């Protein structure tokens, strides 16, 4: 197992152990299937903190959060943080926060995070907050959404092969009149690709947008041809910091001026509607392996499709 993968597994192990304050380093190492020496060396090298100190800090951060937000007795919070007595907890807490627990609670302080070079902190109600592994910008998120759009569009086309023409052309009752009236799976797929063709043609200086064939094979060929054109015309310049660069679209009557950033935002917004309708129509036809087409895990994160998660609402 690579060290990065193993470290993430160790962080998950530490997170799961926060409700076991009496657990020791030897037990954590055992659960990680490592020797105590290797476990301590790996964690210290990666986090800049010995595993015991790392875990004590997280437990103190959790205790501080609970002092500020809950009515639990101090002795209960102390025991949950792994301290056998309120006095020991008070001394450790005061060293870390510069104030005893009673004062921290009275002031309702919410700055429960302690200084840490690794920037890993307790995250309420019972997890960890991890820093980004790499620096990212708004453009990184935006272009990540574009990558998801292209991938999901291709996956939608792949699944059209499983349906007959009647299913492909069946009207989608949830179509939106002022976006795509009388939608069908075939028409949605055509529009998803046509957006790329349309904007690539406009930015390249064209004045007419040829109609494309709409068999499943032809749709796939059109996507293969249009995507690199759109990437070169729009995505690459936006990534290069040229989102506000404008051009004249001569395919409009009369010609209009647009920005590259505006085009990318437009394509992602309207494509999201079409992709969602297409995924729903596929599910209605019995093709359910795309889930809801959620970009969450593609852009970042390890959770499941967020649209399928049950949440606690009052």
Q: Does residue 17 sit in the same domain as residue 72?
A: yes
Q: Does residue 99 sit in the same domain as residue 232?
A: no
**Domain count within the chain:** 2
Q: Does residue 92 sit in the same domain as residue 219?
A: no
Q: Does residue 90 sit in the same domain as residue 187?
A: no
For residue 213, the tally of other CB atoms under 10 A from its CB is 10
Range of the domain at 234: 138-308
- Tens place of pLDDT per residue across the chain (314 aa): 346 677 777 788 888 888 887 788 888 888 888 888 888 888 888 888 888 888 899 999 999 999 988 888 999 999 998 898 889 999 999 999 999 999 999 887 778 889 888 888 888 877 887 765 554 455 666 778 888 899 889 999 999 999 999 999 988 876 556 666 678 999 999 999 999 999 999 888 888 888 899 999 999 999 999 999 999 999 998 888 888 888 888 888 888 888 888 899 899 988 998 898 899 899 888 998 888 888 876 676 555 666 667 767 66
Q: Does residue 299 sit in the same domain as residue 167?
A: yes
Q: Which CATH number do you get for residue 85?
A: 1.10.10.60
Q: Does residue 39 sit in the same domain as residue 75?
A: yes
Q: Does residue 95 sit in the same domain as residue 153?
A: no
Confidence (pTM): 0.63
Angstrom distance (rounded) from CA 69 to CA 51: 27
Q: Which CATH number do you get for residue 257?
A: 1.20.120.450
Q: Does residue 104 sit in the same domain as residue 195?
A: no
174 belongs to a structural domain: yes
Please check whether residue 132 is in contact with residue 120, taking contact to mean a CB–CB distance below 8 angstroms.
no
Q: What was the pLDDT predicted at 221?
A: 95
Q: What was the pLDDT predicted at 136?
A: 43
């Amino acid at each position: 197992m690579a060290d990065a993968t193993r470290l993430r597994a160790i962080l998950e192990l530490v997170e799961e152990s926060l409700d076991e304050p009496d657990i020791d380093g030897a037990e954590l190492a055992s659960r990680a299937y490592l020797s105590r020496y290797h476990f301590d060396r790996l964690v210290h090298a990666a986090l800049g903190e010995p595993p015991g100190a790392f875990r004590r800090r997280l437990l103190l951060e959790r205790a501080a959060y609970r002092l500020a937000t809950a009515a639990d007795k101090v002795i209960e919070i102390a025991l949950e943080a792994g301290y056998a007595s309120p006095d020991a907890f008070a001394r450790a807490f005061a060293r870390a926060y510069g104030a005893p627990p009673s004062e921290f609670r009275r002031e309702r302080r919410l700055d429960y995070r302690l200084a840490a070079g690794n920037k890993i902190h307790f995250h309420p109600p019972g997890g960890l907050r991890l820093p980004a592994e790499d620096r990212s910008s708004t453009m990184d998120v935006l272009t990540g959404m574009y990558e998801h759009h292209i991938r999901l569009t291709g996956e939608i086309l792949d699944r059209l092969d499983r349906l007959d023409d009647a299913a492909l052309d069946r009207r989608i009752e949830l179509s939106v009149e002022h976006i795509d009236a009388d939608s069908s799976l075939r028409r949605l797929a055509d529009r998803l690709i046509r957006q790329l063709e349309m904007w690539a043609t406009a930015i390249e200086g064209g004045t007419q947008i040829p109609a494309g064939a709409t068999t499943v094979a032809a749709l796939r060929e059109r996507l293969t041809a249009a995507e690199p054109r759109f990437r070169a015309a729009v995505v690459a310049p936006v990534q290069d910091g040229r989102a506000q660069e404008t051009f004249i679209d001569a395919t409009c009557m009369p010609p209009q001026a647009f920005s590259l950033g505006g085009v990318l935002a437009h394509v992602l917004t309207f494509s999201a509607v079409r992709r969602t309708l297409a995924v729903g129509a596929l599910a209605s036809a019995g093709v359910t392996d795309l889930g809801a087409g959620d970009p969450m895990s593609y852009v970042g994160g390890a959770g499941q499709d967020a649209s399928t998660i049950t949440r606690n609402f009052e």
